[in-house]
Amino acid sequence: MMFNRLRFLYVALGCGLVLVPSAGLRAQQSADASAQAQQAAGQDQEVDPLKRPRSDKERFAAQKAVRQELKGAYKTWLNQDVAYIISDQERKAFMNLSNDEEREAFIEQFWARRNPNPDSPDNEFREEHYRRIAYANEHFAAGKPGWKTDRGRIYIEYGKPDSIDSHPAGGAYTRPMDEGGGETATYPFETWHYRYLPGIGENIDLEFVDTCMCGDYHFTIDRGEKDALLHVPGMGATQWEQMGMAKKADRFNGGFENLGTGPLGASEKSKEFDRLELAAKIFAPPPIKFTDLDSFISEHKLITGPIFPFEVRTDFVKVTDSTVLVPITLQIKNSDVTFVTKNGVATGVVNILGKVTTITHKTVQTFEDTVQIEQPAELLEKSLNRESVYWKALPLVPGLYRLDIAIKDVNNPDHVGIYGRALNVPEFHDEKLATSSLILADKMNPVDSHSIGSGNFVIGNTFIRPRVSSSPAKPVSFKRSQALNFWMQVYNLGINDATKSNQAQVTYQIIDTTNDTVIYQKELASKDLDPHSDQLTVEKTLPIEGLQPGKYKVMIKIDDEISKQEIAQSAPFVVE
């Protein structure tokens, strides 16, 4: 129909009156037509929806869809493997991750922060968790996997109960007096008893009832739910009902439990809210360990007491093309820690909470630990002029982040310290010569084969404890009696196609920065370190007892003869 109307219009114009514009108007119309033609041509070029730029709203929606589209192993891990032990905050952070590299890093840190022995390559918590899942699937399945049942969930979260009162066939049952007394018949049920559950309390009884008689025991806070004769008139009377002192209808008074009245009825009614609170705690996600410290990071709560000072150092080490290991080192002076002496041992305890967020406030990594410093009481005074060092290595995708850390002196709760800085994780581009951070350390040594890549202060096959400056404006310091250790990795060396080997010159120097004089220099060929790799590790231990007190720096230069690239790194230090 539209085509016919247009055709009629064209015919009418061809046969009807035609107005001829003036010359000036024709010129203007010609210019306008030319502009419109150019605009139309530009519009025609943008017609392809695949090439048309998306609006901000469309782009944000697409990014959100990518983040939330979990598939395969990651969806199984979140919704099955750790469904009962992951906190709400961790779940939200995981859902906001945008690629598999971030998810892998998150999962690694998720288990690492729960490892009872961080120095061990074996994670006992993770192994026990998956053992519990396997046990639940084997013993509690009921038309659905065992991990989905209430008994499976409780077992996975809290482990094996200390005792179980099991009635798998139900049947005749003599009620205890706190349930009203008297005889009745029950559905199959079990009562699990735990002597103690952290964060919940002591002597915890959890009841599960199989009202469908199908093996699916569900958790209940109503002890009367297992009564199979509850709604059968004239049967299953309680002791007081048998004595004519109560009626069965009195049980259905709108309370949480449909128990018959008895000698202890009033006191049991007062405990109903306790049972409701118990259920809430049992099924609540694990809380953040240091909620008080989290408020200083998330809510920017102000410190009201004396500030707990500490220093932070961050380094960057390439792991893969898309992942960078970020070792974070905290240094705390023992003199700033409150020690409590008991049985001849002085103990200081510090809680540490760290969080890495993107510029859009998306949490990508968290860590929390308790550091305990112990000294014999008679040696406490001498140890106060020393420092304690904490280390955490986080895998991150290159990009700009914010690192927030809060610490608390447990023996002096008002003694809190906070740290917040930008964290720019570098990207190590292919074909471009690059290096890790140059780390100056007070301790460095190779580790055994079982400790490679795991444990505190371990990078690859080297134990290296970074020296931390007493303030951001000052270089690290060494005593003349100490050894100077330095460590650095080099990436993307050129490889000769014919010999399959690298060809670079490595030069490291000790420079007196007072007069810019080189006082020590050593040159090495890359083939003497690792001849067939595009990556090298430069590590050296030097005695500094011959150096006079003053300011110095370590300079490492790499001259790659194959790629024709050069790079240098330096780190200042002071000899006391």
Q: Quick one: pLDDT at residue 366?
A: 83
Of 452, 469, 470, residue with least CA distance to 461:
452
Residue 437 lies in domain: 429-576
What mean pLDDT comes out for the span 30-45? 47
- pLDDT above 90 for 237: no
Q: What is the rounded distance in angstroms from the CA atom of residue 352 to the CA atom of residue 401?
A: 19
* C-alpha dist (Å) from residue 115 to 52, 69, 110, 468: 49, 29, 9, 26
Higher local confidence (pLDDT), 2 or 498: 498
In a domain, 307, yes or no: yes
Q: Quick one: pLDDT at residue 401?
A: 92
Q: Quick one: pLDDT at residue 236?
A: 80
Q: Quick one: pLDDT at residue 51?
A: 52
CB of 541 closer than 8 Å to CB of 550: no
Beta strands in 276-409, from DSSP E residues, in sequence order: 311-314, 317-320, 323-333, 340-342, 345-358, 363-376, 387-396, 399-409
Q: What is the rounded distance in angstroms from the CA atom of residue 221 to the CA atom of residue 196?
A: 19
Q: Quick one: pLDDT at residue 472?
A: 73
Of 335, 441, 452, 321, residue with least CA distance to 391:
441
**Residue 436 sits in the same domain as residue 418:** no
Mean pLDDT lowest among 5-14, 35-44, 51-60, 299-308: 5-14
In a domain, 128, yes or no: no
Q: Which of 426, 452, 472 is the last residue of a domain?
A: 426
What pLDDT band is residue 299 in, cutting at 50, 70 and 90?
low
- Segment (H or E) for 567: strand 565-575
In a domain, 214, yes or no: yes
Of 525, 529, 527, residue with least CA distance to 489:
529
Please tell me whether residue 109 adopts helix, strand or coil conformation. Answer: helix
**Residue 440 sits in the same domain as residue 561:** yes
**Residue 375 sits in the same domain as residue 417:** yes
Q: Quick one: pLDDT at residue 272?
A: 66
Q: Which of 396, 426, 456 is the last residue of a domain?
A: 426
What mean pLDDT comes out for the span 94-122? 79
Which range of 98-102, 110-114, 437-441 scores highest in mean pLDDT? It is 437-441
What mean pLDDT comes out for the span 244-252? 76
Per-residue burial over 42-61, b if 16 or more Cβ lie within 10 Å, else e, is eeeeeeeeeeeeeeeeeeee
Q: What is the rounded distance in angstroms from the CA atom of residue 575 to the CA atom of residue 486?
A: 15
Q: What is the rounded distance in angstroms from the CA atom of residue 391 to the CA atom of residue 369?
A: 10
Q: Quick one: pLDDT at residue 3?
A: 39
What mean pLDDT comes out for the span 463-486? 89
- pLDDT above 70 for 29: no
| Contacts for 265 with CB less than 8 Å, ≥ 6 apart | 180, 240, 259
What pLDDT band is residue 17 in, cutting at 50, 70 and 90?
very low
Q: Quick one: pLDDT at residue 270?
A: 56
- pLDDT above 80 for 292: no
Q: What is the rounded distance in angstroms from the CA atom of residue 126 to the CA atom of residue 287?
A: 18
In tens, the pLDDT along 70-81 reads 677 888 899 889
Instruction: State how beta strands 189-197 and 201-209 pair.
Output: antiparallel
Mean pLDDT of the chain: 82
Q: Quick one: pLDDT at residue 44?
A: 45
Based on C-alpha coordinates, what's the Rg of the chain?
36
Q: Which of 282, 310, 341 is the last residue of a domain?
A: 282
How many structural domains are present in the chain? 3
Q: With pLDDT > 90 as the criterion, what percentage of the chain qualifies?
A: 39
**Residue 521 sits in the same domain as residue 452:** yes
In tens, the pLDDT along 403-451 reads 999 999 999 988 999 999 999 999 988 889 999 999 999 999 988 876 6
Q: Return the structure tokens found at 292.
A: 């008080």
In a domain, 73, yes or no: no
Higher local confidence (pLDDT), 112 or 496: 496
Q: What is the rounded distance in angstroms from the CA atom of residue 196 to the CA atom of residue 210?
A: 25
Please tell me whether residue 184 adopts helix, strand or coil conformation. Answer: strand
CATH of the domain at 372: 2.60.40.10
In tens, the pLDDT along 328-379 reads 999 999 999 999 999 999 999 999 999 998 888 888 888 888 888 998 999 9
Please tell me whether residue 70 adopts helix, strand or coil conformation. Answer: coil
In tens, the pLDDT along 538-565 reads 999 999 888 999 999 999 999 999 999 9
**Residue 460 sits in the same domain as residue 561:** yes
In a domain, 410, yes or no: yes
- pLDDT above 90 for 64: no
What mean pLDDT comes out for the span 147-171? 92
**Residue 446 sits in the same domain as residue 323:** no
Sign for the CA dihedral angle at 72, 76, 77, 79 comes to positive
**Residue 327 sits in the same domain as residue 213:** no
In a domain, 388, yes or no: yes
**Residue 422 sits in the same domain as residue 441:** no
In a domain, 209, yes or no: yes
Instruction: State how beta strands 476-478 and 565-575 pair.
Output: parallel
* End-to-end CA gap in the chain: 95
**Residue 367 sits in the same domain as residue 236:** no
**Residue 172 sits in the same domain as residue 188:** yes
What mean pLDDT comes out for the span 513-529? 91
Q: What is the rounded distance in angstroms from the CA atom of residue 198 to the CA atom of residue 422?
A: 36
| pTM > 0.95: yes or no | no
Higher local confidence (pLDDT), 124 or 569: 569
Q: Quick one: pLDDT at residue 28?
A: 46
In a domain, 235, yes or no: yes
Residue position matching structure tokens 């469309």? 58
What pLDDT band is residue 288 in, cutting at 50, 70 and 90?
low
Cβ atoms within 10 Å, residue 153: 19
Q: Quick one: pLDDT at residue 62?
A: 54
**Residue 569 sits in the same domain as residue 456:** yes
**Residue 441 sits in the same domain as residue 404:** no
Q: Return the structure tokens found at 491.
A: 């990436």
Q: Measured in whole angstroms, how far is the alpha carbon of residue 362 from the centre of its chain?
A: 12
CATH of the domain at 513: 2.60.40.3880
Q: Quick one: pLDDT at residue 19?
A: 34
